Amino acid sequence: MQLAPIIAEIERRAEGRAIGRLQEVRKDLKKLARLATNSIFSSQTIFEDQGYAYHHGGRSEMQFNVGTDLPGMFRHGVAFSFEPSRSLPNPEEALLTSVRRFNEFIELYSNMYSDMSMWEWYRGDRRYSDRALVPIRADLIRRGMFLFMGKLQPLATLDCNLIVEDLDRLVPLYEFVEGHEEFPRTEP
């Protein structure tokens, strides 16, 4: 499976949609001087050899994430990566506020995502931990964990419209988790 054509199709279908304006949202929320890119993903955040991508700027925040998963399956949704890197040596500390805000949102609005699931990896191994979206337990916020919230679909019948629609639905969650509002607000 080649990831680049899927990413290109997601980017194309995201034009004019909430997820297509992600970098503008990030610029406002993070008070950045300028847009780093106009794309959701970039060459720095697409890992073709590993079969996944996350949004540009997503390493140090809740990230929009797509990629291969179980054999023959493709995932799309949001994630927290507690894998350390040069740019993020202490992810469990850096992401703690975002996780707390995620938990607050999910406690109030989990019904918005009742068709999605959560699952986890530890040090690169997928655990068979699929469950409904719930607040993230404290014991999962540790080095080496990767927590994912979203959907799976067969690669053979991949629906990029579904991916973009679901990523659009996750934008309000992202805005609250990475923003500064005191109370999560959603549009009816």
Contacts of residue 128, defined as CB under 8 A and 6 or more positions apart, other chains included, come to: 119
pLDDT (tens digit, 9 = 90+) per residue, 17-64? 999 999 999 999 999 999 889 999 999 999 999 999 999 999 999 999
For 111-116, which contacts have Cβ atoms below 8 Å and span 24 or more sequence positions? 112/169, 112/172, 112/173, 112/186, 113/149, 113/169, 113/170, 113/173, 115/151, 116/77, 116/149, 116/150, 116/151, 116/166
pLDDT (tens digit, 9 = 90+) per residue, 69-108? 989 999 999 999 999 999 899 999 999 999 999 999 999 9
For residue 36, the model assigns a pLDDT of 85
Separation in Å, CA 177 to CA 11, 46, 77, 107, 142: 23, 23, 14, 13, 19
* Band of residue 137 on the pLDDT scale cut at 50, 70, 90: very high
When pLDDT is averaged across residues 135-144 and rounded to a whole number, the result is 95
For residue 187, is pLDDT > 70?
Answer: no
For residue 188, the model assigns a pLDDT of 47
Domains of the chain, residue spans:
3-178
Is-contact 141 99, C-beta < 8 A? Answer: yes
Quote the percentage of the chain above a pLDDT of 90. 87
Angle at 28 between CA 81 and CA 12, to 5 degrees: 70
pTM for the whole thing? 0.93
* Band of residue 120 on the pLDDT scale cut at 50, 70, 90: very high
Mean pLDDT of the chain: 93
